[in-house]
Structure 1
Amino acid sequence: MEYTPMATKIWPVPLALAVSLAALGLTACGGDQPQQQQQGGMPPAPVTVAEVDSENVTYFGEYAARVRGAREVEIAAQVSGILQERRFDEGTEVEEGETLFQIDPEPYEIQLATARAALSDAESANRQAQSEWDRVSGLFERDAVSRRDFEQAQSNRDTAQASVARARAALQDAERNLRYTRVESPVNGMAGSERVTVGNLIQSGMTLTHVTQVDPIRVHFSMPESDAFRHRSAHNNESADDVVNKAWAILPDGSEYAEVGEINFIDPRIDEQSGSVAIRAEFSNAERQLIPGQFIRVRVVVGQYDDVFMIEPTAVSQSRDGAQVFVLDGDAKVRAQPVELGPVIDGRQLIINGLSSGDQLVINGHVALRDGADVQVTNQGNGES
């Protein structure tokens, strides 16, 4: 029987050698790549810097406001009677003490005459009682009358004196009521329309018209809690300028009112619903440009800051510890500098603390920076902010 051996598969020598060399090459490349990255590192980040200088800043705020009279008085009748006459033109200026209405005075003239007569009777009775008292007291000192007669004379004298006092009070009341038939303006101002026409019977306490004092005039507005806190701090600062107490009115047409106002009231409480503080300023209004009820805007000083820095808001970033900026530390590194922020004024961020005059502030290219990072300043020698 013939024996047939099994066939054996033999790799060609060139192909096996190529596979081995490829494996060795991959191993070599994998070992060299991390070493090359560690030796090379990241290139310095390109940044733009600007030199900062401190300055004194006055922060103004502008708020919606409503004009009101310095005094707004409801003119009411103080006695009852027939409204006999109106003595003013509606919508015109009236003066303090000017008679606006006349109520029929005849009933009160009669009351006054009656009160005068009653006072005369009381004074006559008082003279008689006083004379009797003088006589009886003299006799009592000489034991010529009894104690009962003495005490009776004394009681009659006291009663007569009390009657005189009551009669005088009734006379004063009658004089007052007669005077109240002339309804007068308690202030200088603009009179409103009549509420009751002539010929009507009016009762005491009924409103007849109103008078609004327009010079000086007041402007009422509200300031957000944060601004109110800054304003109050500036107001309490002994070194603050008087400008902190001033106010400027912006008229509806956008023009600025010529007179500068004075803040004369700041509510000590914060409104819980709106989170704002009510403030009032007073203006001279001789030309009557400001009208009660008018809607305007008012500009006031919110705060004053000395030796602070104004920078672009985009230069500020946030870290775990709060706001920070990057400043150049030497020629090729940056330092993360914590800063205390103030308000944004006219589009620029106020920095209260954290910067010094002459610092080179990174204004572009800081987004991916970290403290101590290497940088390449692209505008070296051009420190304009």
Structure 2
Amino acid sequence: MNQLTRTEVKAGGAARRVGGVSAALVLTLGLAACGGSGESQKGGSAPPPPVSVTEVETEDVTIREDYAGRVRGSREVAVRARVEGVLEERLYDEGKVVQKDEALFRIDPEPFEVALQAARAQLQSAKADLNQARREWNRVSSLYEKNAVSERERDNAQSAFELAQAQVAVAEAEVERAELELGYTDVEAPVTGVTSLESQSEGNLVERGTELTHITQMDPVHVRFALPENDAAARRRAREALRSDDKGDHRSTASLILPDGSVYDQKGTIDFTASTIDPETGTVTARAVFPNEQQRIVPGQFVRIRVKLQTLQDVVTVPAKAVSDGQNGGLQVFVVDDENKAHPRSVETGQVVDGRRIITQGLETGDRVVVEGMAGIRQPGMTVKVGGQSDGESN
């Protein structure tokens, strides 16, 4: 009996252990099921990505192009000695503005003063000879009328008188030459402009034609730039500018972008474009003229010329960042429909003007184009959350 009781007790204990394991297993499976259900709910449909859109409208677009150029003075003149002599004095401050006809150098005038005195003395002698020849001619011609002298004597007297007249003319020319050379001893500025350093210092013997300094006219200034060989629109505008006769036609104007990126506050005019293409560079040389009264533009600066090429009317534009590469190698934009689903749409484009891309085909007025948030659109037709209208400005 006692043995039976012990056996029953053992059996009961085993059953309780098995029951405990089963209960634990059930509890574990239940928790696992609950955990799996929670993860499934967590990995379900994600919220639609936020995007910003802009509504397509048409507008007039002015197409401009920038070209690199270099500033030059409108006139750059080498000041040279016109007579030979000793450079006696420099009369200007180097690097300063000088006015036209202002004296810059003085060459020793003494030899030229002496030459002028000699020329004047020679003129007086020639005039005295002329007076004598005139008196002789008057006397001989009177005697000839009375048949008192021969025709030969009359001819000799006439020839002497004419020769004396020629000698006076030569002497007068020599005086004028001496006066002119004496005037050249004061070397004057041929134009108004800024002077460079002197090329010859005082005391040097300079020859005729020796360069003494350089003057650059600062107002106005010229900007030379090059048009690409294939830029037909720019070349056409430049030619039209030449025919505008300065009547205010906007096609003749150009803007200047200074080295610091600022826009010069005065417009310029394109006044020259070459009719041939440079075979070495493949470009066409052009020139624009800008007023420079305040001398803000310095010759030698590298600048940019902005030329208006044409105006397109009623064209579709979108921010440049709204256009991306399409799957078929072209360009595309994302258009949001009335159900806020984003669809890619292939487009054909033109130039980028002020941060906006011209769309020539693919969009219509009223289409809503995604500007920001395109990275969140993982598949065509995906629902998006439109967060507001974009101002359309490009970063």
TM-score bracket for this pair, using the shorter chain length: 0.5 to 0.7
**C-alpha distance 146-223 of structure 1, shift in aligned 2 (>3 A):** same
Alignment match, 1:250: 257
2: distance between equivalents of 1:193 and 1:344?
A: 47
Map Cα deviations across residues 261-316 of structure 1 (whole Å, 9 max, x no partner): 12222222221222221111111111111111111111122x2246574568989x
Alignment match, 1:101: 105
Alignment match, 1:151: 155
Residue 296 of structure 2 is aligned to residue 295 of structure 1 = no
Alignment match, 1:188: 192
CA contact (8 A) 1:56 1:304 kept: no
Where in structure 2 are the equivalents of 1:1-385 lying within 5 Å? 56-225=60-229, 226=231, 227-232=233-238, 234-235=240-241, 242-301=249-308, 303-305=309-311, 307=313, 309-310=315-316, 345=353, 348-349=357-358
Which shows bigger deviation, 64-73 or 270-279? 270-279
* Structure 1: tracts of 5 or more residues without a match: 1-49, 316-338, 364-384
Q: CA deviation at 1:56?
A: 5.0
CA contact (8 A) 1:58 1:305 kept: yes
CA contact (8 A) 1:192 1:211 kept: yes
Name the SS of the counterpart of 2:264 in structure 1. strand
Q: CA deviation at 1:83?
A: 1.1
2: distance between equivalents of 1:58 and 1:270?
A: 27
Alignment match, 2:6: none
Q: CA deviation at 1:223?
A: 1.4
Q: CA deviation at 1:211?
A: 0.9
Name the SS of the counterpart of 2:180 in structure 1. helix
2: distance between equivalents of 1:134 and 1:247?
A: 75
CA contact (8 A) 1:65 1:219 kept: yes
* TM-align CA RMSD: 3.6
1: distance between equivalents of 2:120 and 2:195?
A: 36
**C-alpha distance 236-155 of structure 1, shift in aligned 2 (>3 A):** closer
2: distance between equivalents of 1:76 and 1:51?
A: 66
1: distance between equivalents of 2:243 and 2:93?
A: 50
TM-score (norm 2): 0.64
Alignment match, 2:331: none
Q: CA deviation at 1:86?
A: 0.7
Which shows bigger deviation, 56-65 or 199-208? 56-65
Q: CA deviation at 1:87?
A: 0.8
2: distance between equivalents of 1:86 and 1:68?
A: 26
2: distance between equivalents of 1:256 and 1:167?
A: 62
The percentage of counterpart residues that share the same residue type is 42
CA contact (8 A) 2:235 2:273 kept: no
Q: CA deviation at 1:200?
A: 1.3
1: distance between equivalents of 2:180 and 2:71?
A: 36
Q: CA deviation at 1:58?
A: 3.1
Name the SS of the counterpart of 2:215 in structure 1. strand
CA contact (8 A) 1:56 1:305 kept: yes
Alignment match, 1:9: none
Q: CA deviation at 1:236?
A: 7.8
Map Cα deviations across residues 55-81 of structure 1 (whole Å, 9 max, x no partner): 654321111111111111111111111
2: distance between equivalents of 1:198 and 1:232?
A: 48
**C-alpha distance 291-120 of structure 1, shift in aligned 2 (>3 A):** same
**C-alpha distance 139-342 of structure 1, shift in aligned 2 (>3 A):** farther
1: distance between equivalents of 2:268 and 2:86?
A: 44
CA contact (8 A) 1:344 1:350 kept: no
**C-alpha distance 216-234 of structure 1, shift in aligned 2 (>3 A):** closer
Name the SS of the counterpart of 1:256 in structure 2. coil
Map Cα deviations across residues 218-260 of structure 1 (whole Å, 9 max, x no partner): 111111132433324654898x971111121111111111121
CA contact (8 A) 1:234 1:304 kept: no
**C-alpha distance 51-343 of structure 1, shift in aligned 2 (>3 A):** closer
CA contact (8 A) 1:248 1:260 kept: yes
* Structure 2: tracts of 5 or more residues without a match: 1-54, 325-347, 370-391
Name the SS of the counterpart of 1:64 in structure 2. strand
1: distance between equivalents of 2:68 and 2:104?
A: 35
2: distance between equivalents of 1:185 and 1:236?
A: 31
Q: CA deviation at 1:127?
A: 2.0
